[in-house]
Structure 1
Amino acid sequence: MDKNKLEVSAKDANNSPTANATYKAIPESEYLEEPVSDQALARLNSHAKNHNNAPEADGAHEKMLPEDDKLSHTVKIIPSTGSPEKKADGFTLDIKPSVVVGMGKEELMKYANDPFWVRLRWFLFICFWLLWAAMLIGAILIIIAAPKCAPPEPKTWWEEGPLTEVNALITADELKTLKSRGFKGVIADWPLDSLQTVDDSPDFQSLLKKAKDAGIEIIVGIEPGTSTLHLNDSEAKDDAYVNYYIWRNHAKGNTTESPNNWLTPDDVSAWKYSDVRKQFYYAPFGKPWLNYRDPKVKEEFSRVITKFLDAGARGLRLTRAPYLLVDPDFADENVGDVGNAAVGQYNFYSHHKTKDQPDLGSLLKSWRDIVKNKTEDGLLMLREDLDNLQSYKVNVSLSIDLPRHSQVFNDKLTSGIQIKKAIDSAQQILEGRWALWKSSNTGLDRDVVDIIMFMMPGTSLVPLNHTVNSELLSFRKSPSIMYGSFDTYAVANDSTFAFIRVAPSNPGYIVALNPTEDMVKVNFPQDTKASVQDEVTVQFVSNNYNVTDIEVK
């Protein structure tokens, strides 16, 4: 230690931080311009020692700054050349805190205007806004590209319904009346041979014109399977018509035994013998049956369809379409679910060889395509109820519209559970598709049947002289009826049938039918386990509903 110089720092003798100052010798040349006497240094060291050893009773020096903020100090001792007030035995004590200070304004401005830092700041500024814009554009693209909940496809006029059947001679005023009563379309049967065109019937041409003027749609009912128009030419083996019908040689070389065991519903052979051609022709319903495996037959009927559509028809209803094609090998029918039928009766056989053939869907699709190409919202439908839909599909697409079911209600359905089973069975056969409901019921009032059919998913086919309730038609406009779910229940100990129709964000509907003569009470939230509110609004009741304390709103 140089005895002539001292440096003071805020550390104690044990080298630990403290508020008391200690002194450390530093080189003389750094602060002293003139030599210092040994006596002066001794006095300063004695003064510093006394200062370090002085007791701090109240610890005030510890309270000056927080522990983390204690400052270190540098003490410089320089000769005193000033006034006497500043002298201390010939020396001045100059204590400066050792605090780290950032750049000053002048130093900072040097970097602020430096070209490198200017370019760097502009680069970061531009990058920030480019990234911000990219994120904004990305968010917009995600919103645009994200899959949306597409709105349901609007229902066509024939899906809204109802429909009815009319005679081809109906008047224009009658058609206008049907339109005003809420009917969307009418079905009129073609009165001539199935291979004759609309040009051959002025009456039918007039009907199509009257329907157009009345603003109601016409569906032409026709039986494509049977025709006698070219039978004579086919019997004569005319080259153009030789295969127009289904011909088979007789069995065992005689004219009395039919080619196989195929029958008509009248329990007689489905084959008739031609003395001209010396062969049997197929006549499953008493008339010669067209061979739709011959492309010429298919093309001619396609022209018939096109003529109807060009004249103003909006759809076709085919009669006996399930029987249009037969087994190409002409194998015998197998025994079916015979019930009470005996051998030789129509119901004794399964009819798998003469009905619902695998390639039937392709044939019907070719005609449906013509309808769709000629009309924006036309339809191709069948007159018969279907046992299944498999034969009417091409891949997974159904080749017909409005598959029909007419056996939902009958006089044997006397309880809620029976009605539920009948409707569930129909829905299963129809695969939940939009169906055509026709009632053959004799056990329920007509208005009761209307309520059920109009609120179910499907179109109603009602009698011509039946008045359609306008309130029921207004309910059908609800998305819950047009697009909503359909859940059926048997409640109140299976005595009452009910179903619920509801679509998201729309009021739901509960329809309940008590086919018994007993009064029953139903707790719908409890009995259906469905999300039903405790309070509902009664909007419609049948004519014979006899509970007087229910107010219809």
Structure 2
Amino acid sequence: MSSEKREASPEASPLKGPAPKAEPEDTSDVAFEDGIPLSPMADPAVQFTSGTPANGDAKVEIGDSGVAPTFVGLGKEELMKYANDPFWVRLRWFLFILFWILWLAMLVGAIVIIILAPRCAEKKTVTDTFYQIKASDLIKDSSQLDAQTQYLKDLGMEIVIISDVLQHDPNEPEAVTNIKALDKSIDEGVFADTVKKLRSEGMRVLLQLVPNHVGTSHEWFNSTAFPDYFVRKPYDEVKQSPWVMQDRSGSAWSADPGNNSIGYLHQFSGNVADLNFDNDEVVSAFKDALSDWRLKKIDGFVISKASYLVEDLNNLMSSQALRNNLKNVEVIKRMVGISSSGPILVELDDASEETLKQYKEKGFTPIVKSIDASNTNRILETLVELNTMPDAVINLHKTSTSPDKARLINLVAIAGGSHALINHDTAKGEKDFLTKLIQFQRDNPRGKGVTVEHASTNDIITALRSDGDDRLLILANFGNAPATFDAQASNVTESAAGKIVLATPNAEIPTGNTTQDTISLNPLSGVVIKLADNAKSE
């Protein structure tokens, strides 16, 4: 910019005439400190136009002159022109209705999900009573349906388990030939009527099945389309294995009839073959089958021989590798799938307390074997074991040679707090006594804090069941001669005073109050006494 001094001119005076127009300065040769030149102002975005006369109104234009402004929306007056337009009225109503339909659909969907979602495992003590009966004994014809249902209702049954339902070989119910079909001896109409009748009387119906194996006449075993459905190994590898059938009648391995170089596993009979539950297709097949049975109004399932589903094939020289594999509980969980919303009982053999805990955490109810009645000491040991399994269900004992002994074992088990699964064969001729046992169980449910102390003197087993303030004294004479219980000499209780609430039929002791500290017991008889408040335990 020139620094030359310019002389003032009257014509150029700011006080006379229009002001000179300012010209934009050329800055193209000016650079910032970083050396970047300024862009020339060829088309400035802001234009200023002076008014006339001088110092009058001025006009400022922002943006390109002559360019139409962009659309910025409708004004109120313009919007009101469309307010009552039929098209926009219909569109508004459509969107309004669509919103509420979608909202209601989401609400209904949430309710359906809540209702159909599998229930979480209930953390409570089992209180149901279970009655297991073969299909041939229950499902005969419609004319006997009312009488059979009334019998179960009189017993106080809450859950009926039907066994031998699946299609099977005529002489071997566990040799199943179709896991989705009724046995040919069962009429479908009578089966449906029976299930409907039991459920109408407030009983739930469970189906008993043995998924561990199917019959060797099953399509899966005889078709080349299912090569991995069974536990198979090269026969040379397994024929020297010490694995034997569970009844100890012979080797658990046999050569495959279709290929003698391959051996197949059969733990329970030569007419059945153990399924391979490491194969997801086998698990899925059972899951589909259980879903089908649900459609026939079956409420739940009893998985028998659940201890044997998965074997450790890397340990062929150990018989312990045959049962209680840690994978079993997960296999059953996948097998029942959404069906787990109903009762699922699992029958276990020699399960540890830790194993029982795993099944209960998955929502299953374990069934443990019957009390070993071989001798008094073994009975006592089994009762102590049952005390560590408060949520387990036991099979009530049955014996054709000594009904009195069977009744006594059942009394000791039920009074001690165990939960009973009554087999139809056991119940024959025992309606009155079983009704009393079941009513006792219902009136005296086992609480979480219950403890049971056991002792044995000669042939008398003594147990003291404490549940809060209630204490039950259980006396059982397993000897073949009369015996006397003396509370003063007992290490379980110092008094037997109280009320006799249950007794075996052969005890010949009436129920009611007793003040005696000595109780006389007939051979193979027993009583349960609800101790008075002043009866102190040591």
TM-score category (smaller protein): 0.5 to 0.7
Distance apart, 1:299 and its partner CA: 0.6
Local SS of the residue matching 1:508? strand
Partners of 1:464 and 1:550 lie apart in 2 by 26
Give per-residue Cα distances to partners, 1:35-74, cap 9 Å, x unaligned: xxxxxxxxxxxxxxxxxxxxxxxxxxxxxxxxxxxxxxxx
Partners of 1:534 and 1:243 lie apart in 2 by 63
Letter in 2 for 1:332: L
Larger Rg: 1
* Match 1:263 to one of 244, 255, 263: 244
1:501 equivalenced with 2:475 (yes/no):
no
* Match 1:488 to one of 453, 468, 486: 453
1:364 equivalenced with 2:332 (yes/no):
yes
* Match 1:219 to one of 200, 206, 218: 206
5+ residue gaps, structure 1, are: 1-151, 335-350
Letter in 2 for 1:434: A
Letter in 1 for 2:162: A
Asked if structure 1 preserves the Cα contact closer than 8 Å seen for 2:373 and 2:379, the reply is: yes
Asked if structure 2 preserves the Cα contact closer than 8 Å seen for 1:223 and 1:319, the reply is: yes
Structure with higher strand content: 2
Partners of 1:472 and 1:296 lie apart in 2 by 44
Asked if structure 2 preserves the Cα contact closer than 8 Å seen for 1:452 and 1:511, the reply is: yes
Letter in 1 for 2:408: V
Alignment of 1:31-430 (within 5 A): 159-168=127-136, 169-170=139-140, 171-173=144-146, 174-189=148-163, 190-192=165-167, 193=176, 195-198=178-181, 202=188, 204-228=191-215, 237-238=224-225, 241-251=226-236, 258=239, 260-264=241-245, 265-275=248-258, 279-284=262-267, 285-286=269-270, 287-329=272-314, 331-334=315-318, 351-367=319-335, 370-373=338-341, 375=342, 378-382=343-347, 384-391=348-355, 394=358, 397=361, 400-410=364-374, 412-413=375-376, 419-428=379-388, 430=389
Local SS of the residue matching 1:312? coil
Distance apart, 1:301 and its partner CA: 0.2
Give per-residue Cα distances to partners, 1:501-526, cap 9 Å, x unaligned: 23225x332221123323324216x6
1:467 is matched with which residue?
431
Partners of 1:319 and 1:549 lie apart in 2 by 38
Partners of 1:549 and 1:456 lie apart in 2 by 18
Distance apart, 1:450 and its partner CA: 3.6
Letter in 1 for 2:334: S
Distance apart, 1:277 and its partner CA: 8.6
Local SS of the residue matching 2:346? strand
Asked if structure 1 preserves the Cα contact closer than 8 Å seen for 2:242 and 2:316, the reply is: yes
1:61 is matched with which residue?
none
Letter in 2 for 1:221: Q
Partners of 2:357 and 2:178 lie apart in 1 by 25
**Aligned in 2, Cα 1:195/1:393: closer, same or farther, shift over 3 Å?**
farther
Give per-residue Cα distances to partners, 1:313-357, cap 9 Å, x unaligned: 22222232222212233x4323xxxxxxxxxxxxxxxx2222222
Partners of 2:364 and 2:177 lie apart in 1 by 19
Partners of 1:549 and 1:360 lie apart in 2 by 46
Asked if structure 1 preserves the Cα contact closer than 8 Å seen for 2:220 and 2:229, the reply is: no
CA RMSD of aligned residues (A): 3.6
Asked if structure 2 preserves the Cα contact closer than 8 Å seen for 1:208 and 1:313, the reply is: yes
Partners of 2:349 and 2:362 lie apart in 1 by 15
Q: Paired residues, what number?
A: 363
Letter in 2 for 1:424: V
Asked if structure 1 preserves the Cα contact closer than 8 Å seen for 2:129 and 2:420, the reply is: yes
Asked if structure 1 preserves the Cα contact closer than 8 Å seen for 2:212 and 2:274, the reply is: yes
Letter in 1 for 2:166: P
What fraction of aligned residue pairs are identical, expressed as a percent?
11
**Aligned in 2, Cα 1:365/1:231: closer, same or farther, shift over 3 Å?**
same
Distance apart, 1:388 and its partner CA: 2.6
Give per-residue Cα distances to partners, 1:359-414, cap 9 Å, x unaligned: 122112334553333x3xx12221x543435456649836641331213434x32x
Partners of 1:474 and 1:311 lie apart in 2 by 31
Distance apart, 1:227 and its partner CA: 2.6
1:31 is matched with which residue?
none
Partners of 1:390 and 1:422 lie apart in 2 by 17
Partners of 2:353 and 2:177 lie apart in 1 by 25
Alignment of 1:427-438 (within 5 A): 427-428=387-388, 430=389, 432-438=390-396
1:478 equivalenced with 2:421 (yes/no):
no
Partners of 2:510 and 2:261 lie apart in 1 by 75
Partners of 1:222 and 1:154 lie apart in 2 by 25
1:539 is matched with which residue?
501
Local SS of the residue matching 2:380? helix
Local SS of the residue matching 2:264? strand
Asked if structure 1 preserves the Cα contact closer than 8 Å seen for 2:367 and 2:393, the reply is: yes
TM-score by length of structure 1 reads 0.57
